[in-house]
Amino acid sequence: MCNFAEGVDGKPPLLTHDDVITLFHESGHGLHHMLTRVNERDVSGISGVEWDAVELPSQFMENFCWEWGVLKHMTAHVDTGEPLPRKLFDKMLAAKNFQSGLATLRQIEFALFDMLLHSEHDPAADFMPLLQQVRDEVSVLHPPAFNRMAHTFSHIFAGGYAAGYYSYKWAEVLSADAYAAFEETAGQDGMPSVQTGRKYRQAILEVWGSRPAIESFKAFRGREPTLDALLRHQGMA
């Protein structure tokens, strides 16, 4: 389900680029369910996949929304029908990676705080010194002393991510590395390799939940995951 806006003044509904990313993201989850070949419900499709890997198929699909070869065929001006100009696409790509390093450090700060809170911290003690300890280690821009982000960190207190917030960033590592396989095997026209797509379907989408996710990833890539693709996609390498 995607909560897209309705059309205005008799015009058709229009999707922002963020809407398209959401559509592709959720389609990745849909493919995960539809292409499973596991008959046991509890480990079929998304079910039974480890929390830190279940977003791989969805985040993987988001990459296509940043490919010129894809967008130029699926965009059109509502009045003129002209496709997205290449210059505008290049500006979007540059904006996508603006301050991506700081955004990454923010996620690392939250993930480390969550891990330490659930592994080494005394529940009876104040957790603000722990948060400051993490910030001293990884943060570039420190918030003011009165900041109380941890008091409203609902992801780990009410959202099911307790001791697992790191999964956001780890899933990005897996999805970027998986997408890199398609970049490495694309044809001269930039089109994805059918063989790589088949391998991705068979090694990941068809079986996840029936075996550890890392085994599925290694069956697809033939190795352990690396950070290289994520750093490159986010403009940091």
Catalytic positions are 26
CB contact at 8 A, 20 and 11: no
CB contact at 8 A, 20 and 65: yes
Query: CA 78, 84, 85: angle at the middle one, nearest 5?
Result: 130
Q: Up-side HSE of residue 6: CA atoms within 13 Å toward CB?
A: 3
Tokens of 150: 């941890």
Tokens of 191: 């089109």
Question: Taking the chain, what is the end-to-end CA distance rounded to the nearest angstrom?
Answer: 35
- Residue 16 one-letter amino acid: T
> Which of 85, 223, 196, 38 lies closest to 47 in space, CA to CA?
38
